[in-house]
Amino acid sequence: MSDPAGEIVHITQGYIPLSKVLTRLAQSTHNALQDQIAALAKMPLPAAAMNGNSTVLNSDVEDGSGENIAKKTSILNFAMREHRKWVKALVITEWSRKADMVSKLIDLRFHLQGQEVLFSGALDVMGHVKRDLTFARMPSPDLKTALQVLSTGEAAWMPDLSYIEPPPLTRQEQIQWISDLDTQLSLRLNLEDFDKIPYHFRNYEIDSGRVTFKVAGEFEVDLTIADEDFEKQFWFIDFRFAFEPAASSIPDGLKNYLEGQVNDILSKDGLLGCYQFLHELVLTHKLNELKRQAIQLSRGSWTGTLKVEPLNRALAIQYWTSRAQLGSPKSWILIAVNSGRKPNGQPDPKSSSHLMVKWYRDNKEVKDTNISFDADNLSAETLLKTVIGRHVEFLLGSIHSRLQAFPRFQNRDAAMILNISHDDPATSFLSMQVGYKDSASLLVEPTTGVFAVKPHSKFTIQHEHLLNNGKNPADDGATCLENVRCGVMEDELIRRGSTTGWNTKKSPLSKDELRSLTNTREWTKTIWLQRTGWDPNWFVMVMLSPSGDAWWLVDASRNVNGQSNRLSSKLPLNKGYPHLEDEFWNNLTLFATGMIAQAVDQHELYRHNIKFLLQDTRNWSLPQQVRLPTLEISLSDIFPSMVFNMAEKDNAKAANESNAGTETARFGPVAPTASTPGISTRQPWAHDIVSIRFKGVEPVDKEASGAGGPISDVSFMCISDAIIKVRKPTKFAMLKGHMTVEDAEVSRLWRVALNLSNNDIDIQVQETNPHLPVTDLMQKLVNGANGIGALMDWLPVSLPTMEAFKKIREAWSDIEARRQGRFKFIMNSTDEMSFQYLLAGTGPGNQQVQRSITFLGQIKQRRGEPWWHIERKIPSSGWPSLNDEFSAALKPVWDGKGDDWSGLVTGATGRPENGIIGLLLAIDEAIRPLAGSTFQNNSEVVILE
């Protein structure tokens, strides 16, 4: 008590700076002045002033017109109103000069008001305590009566009830009494009151002097009788609930209440009234129990998602309150009591009132759905899950039906699964395939009603938000899944395609051009891909739409007027989602490039008026997944000399020989020849169709492509097969096989071109080809009976010989330039050849003379194998002397031996594969030193004048 009082509370809330008050007041006055001026301008003028004739003759006389008085009144009111405000501001300004004193005054005023409230409250509490102590007051003790009773044991003035306590019953008497009571109850219920027992009280048990009526799922009540007279009433003993959850025993207060009420009803309405009273009591208790569970859920795991509203003997539980927006439809469950009457309103003795459940979805009652409700085992959460499960089924089912109408699912191009669980709505989902292996699932969170797309990714966040804020779940859900699918597909196409040379590009066409190109009105997304190394105008467009995904090859080039040529072709991919592995992208590159090549070829053929036709035939040179049609071209339009005269008939022998022979060659640019000779009277060797089959793409310069440079700098060339059906296959039988050169040097590879445009096959070889001197022999072989087969067999066998002669010619080039000699080579058949050396030199008398020596070569059998035999040709003058200079020079060769060749004294022999090269070079090295030498004795002399 001696401690000083604490500091009073200082009031600081609501304080505003004085400068701010004055600034706002000045602004307010300025705005009010502007409004006042505008209002005065709108007021009417006096009639005379409006006409220009003033009624006031003297300016000293005040205008007393009503309009003028109204204006003055308005100005006066404005001035007074603003004057009051500024007077208050002046007072506040004066107070501000004494701010400390005023602040203390406010604090004291607030403190005194608080103390006054506490004082009044204390008085009020003291009054209530005094009033409540009245019932706790003890009455004054009766000391006189207490003294009399304690001393004598009785008091004459106390009343006497004359009650004589009966003797206690023995155990046997109690058992007999209970048995008699059971008998009386049985007789009464089976005889006297049998027709009066209510239908729902038919199930009862009699035991221990009482009858227990059992109503399944509601209650059990124990009754007994107190008189043998069957007209007397039953009496209440005990009551128990027969449903879950419920207390095993009722409180004493409720039991006492029920005892008085039931006994009173039994005395008036009998067993029927007792059942009706207890039945309605149980229904009310069940509603309260459901209400308690619902409120507990709303405060627990379902916080913020439930709204419980008790009604008149009914209960409404609104779910998904967090999802319902302002003004949007709501969904709830209504649990009410049904009267159980007949449709005509008459009561049904076998039926009674019962709990019923109604489901309202989006403000409308759902009547075509049966909601299971267990009234014997009450569970608000189970009821909520059941109804929400039906609601989730409706939402996902409507989205499933909407998606099922899309052609992509009708044609089974994609998979979709709808899984519904009525007991656990959290396990319900709608799964849709979004890629070759991936899928997206749409779920509804049971407690909040929020849609969720799994697995979560950057593609689902925005579309989930739009779906949850939408008003039409069926359309919005289908759109959400479609957008998620397109996002996943686009990301996978970009990721997988970029690693294999496919890049994403901006759309080169407008939406109207795209509609006209694809004949499609609606789509979700388009992805434009371009292969590295392609022409900038060629694209592969992936169109993703609910109707089905389509891959298009598009030429976006434009003409001089800026209009798109819009050459396009739909890629015939398999149904479903492609497996975007490296194999797919490689096949797509091959397929699209082949289609581009065919499109360019068709454009050129059409431009040159060459007939062509596309045939869907199998191309075995391409992978199984790549199916390109075969381009068939009229051979007569390209090479008129090869035209097949349909009027010309083949004989039977020729018809038997014209089987399916083919000639395969590299396909180059297709264009008609510049000159068109007349049609030959000879029967052509080929039919009038050339089949062009695309094989693939390879770099023009393989060394540049393998040097590790950028792919964009490498030029590629399309490779195709040109298949011609020949009339005599035996002539081209060699082309049925394949020739493979293994471990060959690059310098030894030469090309032999066959010109098939004329009746006879013409051969063209390169200038560096060793077979150039024998072109006539090669042309004779290819046009002979064995055809190309004979040529292909002879070329590799004769190559060593031709290479040896090429080296000899190169060695004699300098000698020929000095005019000291010359080398000649002749080969008229495949097994014979001749070569001659012409040597210039100085003879007797320093005369210029020319010497010559000729060698003959033939293929002869030696040791069972073909060998070249080389010998000196006998001159016309006879066999030369053994001492001439040629014989002396050749003696080391005729007597020598080398790799796969050996001398024969007068000649030499060598293998065609390797030995002939060493033999020919040995002969050349023996003869070449004689060029330009001095001649002594030789019969083969030509004197040059």
Give the integer Cα–Cα distance in Å for 540 and 551: 7
Split at pLDDT 50, 70, 90, the class of 341 is: confident
CA 519 to chain centre: 24
Q: What is the mean pLDDT of residues 362-370?
A: 89
Q: Tokens 């409250």 label which residue?
A: 121
Element at 866 (helix H, strand E): strand 865-872
Q: What six digits make up the tokens of 305?
A: 């998602």
pLDDT of residue 529: 92
Half-sphere exposure of 650 (CA within 13 A, CB side): 15
- Beta-sheet strands, E only, within 216-341: 219-225, 234-241, 306-311, 314-319, 331-338
End-to-end CA distance of the chain: 165
- Is the pLDDT at 619 greater than 70? The verdict is no
Write out the E strands in 571-675. Answer: 612-615, 630-634, 662-666
Residue 202 CB neighbour total at 10 angstroms:
10
pLDDT at 941: 46
- Range scoring the smallest mean pLDDT among 2-11, 67-76, 410-419: 2-11
pLDDT (average), residues 693-714: 59
Q: For the segment 837-867, what is each residue's pLDDT rounded down to a tens digit?
A: 998 877 666 777 788 889 999 999 888 889 9
Q: Are 545 and 411 in contact (CB under 8 A)?
A: no
**Which residue's entry shows tokens 């993703």?**
544
pLDDT(507) > 60: yes
For the whole prediction, is pTM greater than 0.75?
A: no
Q: Determine the 3-state secondary structure of 7 from DSSP.
A: coil
Q: How far is CA 588 from the centre of its chain?
A: 20
- Helix then strand then coil, in percent of the chain rounded to 5, is 40, 20, 40
Question: Quick check: helix, strand or coil at residue 94?
Answer: helix
CA distance 508 to 808: 63
Does residue 919 contact residue 898 with C-beta atoms inside 8 Å? yes
Q: What is the DSSP letter of 425?
A: G
Distance CA 428, CA 393 (A): 8
> What is the DSSP annotation of 118-141?
HHHHHHHHHHHHHHHTTTTPPPPP
Q: Are strands 416-419 and 848-862 parallel, antiparallel or unpaired?
A: unpaired
Q: How far apart are CA 256 and CA 237, in angstroms?
A: 10
Confidence of residue 90 (pLDDT cuts 50, 70, 90): very high
- pLDDT tens column, 524-542: 889 999 988 888 888 999 9
Residues 6+ positions from 309 with CB-CB distance below 8 Å? 315, 316, 317, 318
Tokens of 299: 């405060």
Is there a contact between 644 and 688 (Cβ–Cβ < 8 Å)?
Answer: yes
CB-based contacts of 644, cutoff 8 Å, min separation 6:
635, 636, 684, 686, 687, 688
Q: How do residues 237-260 score in pLDDT, each as one tens digit?
A: 999 999 999 888 899 999 999 999
Cα 812 off chain centre by: 75
* Average pLDDT across the chain, whole number: 82
* CA 52/CA 58 separation, integer angstroms: 15
The whole-angstrom separation of Cα 458 and Cα 465 is 12
**Cα separation of 192 and 248, whole Å?**
33
Residue 236's pLDDT is 95
- Residue 665: the pLDDT is 32
Residue 164, helix vs strand vs coil: coil
- Euclidean distance between CA atoms 417 and 404, whole angstroms: 11
Give Cα 858 distance to the centre of its chain: 76
Distance of alpha carbon 214 from its chain centroid, rounded?
Answer: 61
* Nearest Cα to Cα of residue 618 among 631, 610, 627, 608: 627
Q: How many CA atoms lie within 13 A of 859 on its CB side?
A: 14
| Residue 108: DSSP 8-state | H
Q: What is the pLDDT of residue 613?
A: 80
Range scoring the smallest mean pLDDT among 50-54, 200-204, 813-817: 50-54
Nearest Cα to Cα of residue 831 among 862, 797, 854: 797
Per-residue pLDDT tens over the stretch 883-904: 678 888 888 999 999 888 999 8
pLDDT band at 105 (very low <50, low <70, confident <90, very high): confident
